[in-house]
């Protein structure tokens, strides 16, 4: 009965971004998989409803086979990214192209500042976000775990903020949970941890902090068994969310017996 109640809670506990409702709080990237078949299977198993894609030139020399041939487009909301863009202008140009493909007005806006860290260039990010919001995009920006930047992005009209947990692809986990907590206490749009997750426990920690969702790619695609990791991440995000909603016990330094002291023998 309890399990049923929980399941009901989970389906009623919708994530709303840009006016759209989602049941899954795990968002998954589609890069770095061994094959399109593996990508499709991992997406399926992850239960993700929002999946990221990159915008790139059509390769005129090679096979016309495309990722989208393997994906049921009715099942997913595509979130095109601006990966590889280092200026607001390039990012805006990429977003306009992404929308013209005609499948989504959602964009994962990232404007990078440095090749080694792939940390965001917040100045360019804010510039791009302002233009894109004015053009009617649903903007989900990848940003630093900095509450000031997140608040500015919210004020500009972004549909969510996506602070990094750690550098992209690093698998270092949530390096500064206190910053994430401060962001959560000060913005009202959904906070989605984007980048840095390495294992299922990292995803659960993000959700237990109260994040609205987690976005990851390498943690699944780079795992030895991406399909199994996709399932682990799905369960971790669900478990973390339920744990957050359930309300954890306070941390105490000393023990507190679970069994009654009354009725001891002897």
List the catalytic residues. 108
- How is the beta sheet containing 192-194 ordered, strand by strand? 26-29, 213-216, 192-194
Closest separation in Å from C-beta 89 to other proteins = 10
Chain mean position to CA 264:
50
> Which of the stretches 95-103, 158-166, 203-211, 256-264 binds other proteins when contact is defined by CB under 8 A?
95-103
User: 3-state DSSP call for residue 79?
Assistant: strand
Helix 122-134 and helix 88-101, axial crossing angle in degrees, nearest 10: 40
Q: Which is nearer to other proteins, 22 or 33 (CB)?
A: 33
DSSP 87-154: SHHHHHHHHHHHHHHTS-SEEEE--BS-TTT--B-HHHHHHHHHHHHHTT-EEEEEE-S-HHHHHHHH
Binding status of residue 168 toward other proteins by CB under 8 A: yes
Binding status of residue 80 toward other proteins by CB under 8 A: yes
| Partner residues linked to 192 by β-bridges | 213
Chain mean position to CA 92:
21
Nearest CA among 48, 116, 120 for reference residue 82: 120
Q: 177-206 mask for other proteins (x: CB under 8 A)?
A: ------------------------------
Binding status of residue 170 toward other proteins by CB under 8 A: no
Binding status of residue 96 toward other proteins by CB under 8 A: yes
Rounded to an integer, what distance in angstroms lies between the CA atom of residue 253 and that of residue 156?
43
Q: Which is nearer to other proteins, 51 or 174 (CB)?
A: 51
Q: Which is nearer to other proteins, 8 or 97 (CB)?
A: 97
Length of the chain: 266
10, 18, 20, 68: which one binds other proteins (CB under 8 A): 68
> Which of the stretches 18-26, 90-98, 129-137, 172-180 binds other proteins when contact is defined by CB under 8 A?
90-98
Closest separation in Å from C-beta 94 to other proteins = 8
Residues 28-67 contacting other proteins, CB under 8 A: 29-33, 36, 39, 52-58, 60, 64, 66-67
Q: Which is nearer to other proteins, 16 or 34 (CB)?
A: 34
> Which of the stretches 152-160, 215-223, 229-237, 242-250 binds other proteins when contact is defined by CB under 8 A?
215-223
Chain mean position to CA 186:
19
Spatial CB neighbours of 8, under 8 Å, sequence gap ≥ 6: none
Closest separation in Å from C-beta 150 to other proteins = 20
User: How many residues at the interface with other proteins, by CB under 8 A?
Assistant: 37
Spatial CB neighbours of 7, under 8 Å, sequence gap ≥ 6: none
Per CB under 8 A, residues contacting other proteins are 29-33, 36, 39, 52-58, 60, 64, 66-68, 78, 80-81, 83, 93, 96-103, 168-169, 216-218
């Amino acid at each position: 009965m309890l399990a049923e109640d929980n399941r009901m809670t989970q389906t009623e506990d919708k994530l709303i971004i840009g006016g759209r409702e989602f049941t899954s709080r795990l968002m998954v990237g589609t890069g770095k998989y061994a094959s399109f078949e593996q990508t499709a299977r991992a997406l399926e198993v992850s239960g993700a409803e929002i999946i990221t894609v990159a915008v790139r030139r059509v390769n005129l020399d090679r096979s016309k086979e495309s990722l989208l041939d393997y994906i049921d487009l009715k099942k997913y909301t595509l979130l095109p990214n601006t990966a590889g863009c280092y200026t607001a202008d390039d990012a805006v140009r990429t977003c306009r192209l992404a929308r013209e493909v005609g499948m989504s007005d959602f964009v994962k806006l990232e404007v990078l500042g440095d090749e080694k860290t792939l940390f965001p260039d917040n100045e360019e990010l804010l510039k791009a976000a302002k233009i894109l919001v004015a053009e009617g995009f649903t903007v989900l920006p990848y940003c630093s775990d900095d509450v000031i930047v997140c608040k500015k992005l919210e004020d500009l009209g972004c549909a969510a903020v996506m602070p990094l947990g750690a550098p992209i692809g690093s698998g270092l986990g949530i390096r500064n949970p206190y910053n994430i907590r401060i962001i959560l206490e000060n913005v009202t749009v959904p906070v989605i941890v984007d980048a840095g997750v390495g294992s299922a426990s990292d995803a659960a920690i993000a959700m237990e902090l109260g994040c609205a969702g987690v976005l990851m790619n390498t943690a699944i695609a780079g795992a030895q068994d991406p399909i199994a990791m996709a399932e682990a991440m799905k369960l971790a995000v669900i478990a973390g969310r339920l744990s957050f909603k359930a309300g954890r016990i306070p941390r105490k330094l000393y023990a507190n017996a679970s069994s009654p002291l009354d009725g001891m023998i002897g």
